[in-house]
């Protein structure tokens, strides 16, 4: 009996934290494996549409990104609210012809690829749902002129309508 | 002196270090995977082609999306997006050999020998392949969302046909064909020859020419 009483009298016990690092490391490895590095800062607002037939993009090194959306709230004072094109990480903001910038961008990106992969380049179009198609058609025409013909309309998997 | 070797390293800060790394990865990485619809753009013709390719009227299904995101499919106004898949499947298969639906041509497609009990041992499939083409046209004010939904339905219809074929002949899902195995890659390519993704996207410039 005396033994029990003495234990109680000691007050709050310390929790053993020796396995805490292990738990944190486990979380760390989970995030390291399941995420990818953030490469560009997106300066336009984009809500990706959801459709049912999406496929995963295989080789990330072959992919270049074209974003089309309205500027972020912080940038609206500078650029207004008209849809803008962002190529990888730079915003096309000159008044002139944005499609020329798209063409230059494609040529530049193609230069970065090794010789064997030059015609496998994929342009990923990340476009906001509400953007009118006129802007998208302009970009598509520019891509055709630049001979970047493999495109990928970025979309998320829509699980609700899958069985339709 | 011998006692010193038994001393443990203080691991109390290990958790802090791990936390620091964890927070770094939380901030510097994103979770979104790249998914989407992969499509091929048509190349720009080398020189101005005066003589446009003559396509029989019955072989073309015109899908129009107007500025208010309404659809017109094959001359009928007000089609809903969820009806589109069935229409496209019927268009490509033409089960009753309807004279208003596309023609078919007999074609031989080679599968790997002995890959299916429903094929002759040589693996050559002989059958009818549709000549149908879908022409997708949109207004400059159509929203991207609607456009992509329509694209998705067209792709879904062709995928469905491929899936049905693959299930019937090889008892496998088309999606699950492993492209790293030469045998299954050949099957996948052969099926793609039978059900082609014939979607022509008119550029706004030549809408008049196609009507």
pLDDT by residue for chain A (164 residues), tens only, comes to 555 555 555 677 888 888 888 898 898 899 888 887 777 778 888 888 888 888 888 787 888 888 888 888 888 888 888 888 888 877 886 655 667 888 888 888 888 888 888 888 899 999 998 888 888 888 888 888 888 889 999 988 877 765 44
What mean pLDDT, rounded, does chain B reach?
81
Lowest mean pLDDT among A13-27, B59-73, B193-207: B193-207
Close Cβ partners of A32 (under 8 Å, ≥ 6 residues apart): B25
Structure token digits, residue A126: 């990340």
Q: How confident is the model at residue A96, as a pLDDT? A: 56
pLDDT digits (tens, 9 = 90+) for B80-137: 888 888 999 988 888 888 888 888 888 888 888 877 777 888 888 888 888 888 888 8
Q: How confident is the model at residue B206, as a pLDDT? A: 40
Residue B198 lies in a domain: yes
Nearest-CA distance B28 → chain A (Å): 6
Residue B17 lies in a domain: no
Nearest-CA distance B24 → chain A (Å): 9
ipTM of the complex as predicted: 0.76
CB contacts, 8 Å: A57 with chain B? 34-36, 38
Q: How confident is the model at residue A94, as a pLDDT? A: 61
Residue B13 lies in a domain: no
C-beta atoms of B35 and A157 within 8 A: yes
Range B21-39 average pLDDT = 84
Q: Tell me the domain boundaries of chain A.
A: 44-157
Interface size, chain A vs chain B, as Cβ–Cβ contacts under 8 Å = 154
Residue B156 lies in a domain: yes
C-beta atoms of A156 and B35 within 8 A: yes
Higher-scoring residue by pLDDT: B114, B146:
B146
Q: Distances in Å between the alpha carbon of A42 and those of A82, A86, A103, A148?
A: 16, 8, 20, 22
Beta-bridge mates of residue B29? A37
Q: Which residues of A6-31 are buried (b: 16+ CB within 10 A; e: fewer)?
A: eeeeeeeeeeeeeebbeebbebbeeb
Q: Is the pTM of this model over 0.80?
A: no
Range of the structural domain that residue B109 is part of: 57-210
- The Cα–Cα gap between A154 and B148 comes to 10
Residue B206 lies in a domain: yes
For B200, other C-beta atoms within 10 Å of its C-beta total: 14
- Closest Cβ opposite residue A153 in set B18, B39, B139: B39
Burial of B30 (0-12, 13-18, 19+ CB in 10 A): exposed
Give the closest residue to B163 by CA, choosing from B179, B183, B177, B182. B177
Residue B81 lies in a domain: yes
pLDDT of B163 > 70? The answer is yes
Structural domain count of chain B: 1
Residue B143 lies in a domain: yes
Range B193-209 average pLDDT = 66
Residue B41 lies in a domain: no
- The Cα–Cα gap between A110 and A122 comes to 10
C-beta atoms of A164 and B85 within 8 A: yes
Q: In terms of CA atoms, which chain B residue is nearest residue A120?
A: B40
- Closest Cβ opposite residue A27 in set B22, B38, B156: B22
């Amino acid at each position: 009996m005396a033994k029990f009483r003495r234990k109680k009298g000691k007050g709050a016990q310390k929790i053993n934290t020796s396995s805490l690092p292990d738990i944190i490391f486990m979380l760390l490895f989970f995030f390291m494996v399941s995420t990818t590095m953030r490469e560009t800062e997106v300066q336009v607002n984009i809500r990706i549409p959801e459709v049912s037939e999406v496929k995963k993009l295989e080789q990330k090194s072959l992919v270049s990104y074209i974003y089309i959306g309205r500027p972020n709230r912080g940038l609206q004072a500078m650029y207004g609210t008209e849809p803008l094109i962002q190529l990888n990480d730079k915003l096309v903001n000159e008044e002139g012809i944005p499609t020329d910038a798209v063409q230059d961008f494609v040529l530049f990106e193609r230069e970065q690829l090794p010789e064997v992969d030059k015609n496998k380049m994929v342009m990923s179009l990340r476009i906001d749902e509400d953007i009118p198609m006129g802007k998208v058609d302009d970009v598509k025409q520019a891509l055709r002129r630049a001979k970047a013909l493999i495109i990928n309309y970025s979309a998320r998997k829509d699980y609700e309508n899958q069985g339709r | 002196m011998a006692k010193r070797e038994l001393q443990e390293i203080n691991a109390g800060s290990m958790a802090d270090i791990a936390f620091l790394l964890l927070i770094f990865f939380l901030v510097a990485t994103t979770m979104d995977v790249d998914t989407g619809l992969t499509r091929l753009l048509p190349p720009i013709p080398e020189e101005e082609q005066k003589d446009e390719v003559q396509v029989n009227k019955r072989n073309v299904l015109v899908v129009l999306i107007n500025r208010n995101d309404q659809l017109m499919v094959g001359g009928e106004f007000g089609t809903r997006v969820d009806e589109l898949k069935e229409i496209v499947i019927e268009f490509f298969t033409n089960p009753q050999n309807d004279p208003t639906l596309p023609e078919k041509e007999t074609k031989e497609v080679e599968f790997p020998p002995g890959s299916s009990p429903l094929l002759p041992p040589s693996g050559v499939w002989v059958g009818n392949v549709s000549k149908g083409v879908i022409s997708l046209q949109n207004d400059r004010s159509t929203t991207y969302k609607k456009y992509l939904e329509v694209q998705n339905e067209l792709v879904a219809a062709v995928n469905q046909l491929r899936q049905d074929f693959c299930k019937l002949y090889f008892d496998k899902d088309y999606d699950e064909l492993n492209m790293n195995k030469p045998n299954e890659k050949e099957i996948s390519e052969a099926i793609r020859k039978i059900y082609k993704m014939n979607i022509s996207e008119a550029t706004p410039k030549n809408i008049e020419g196609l009507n």
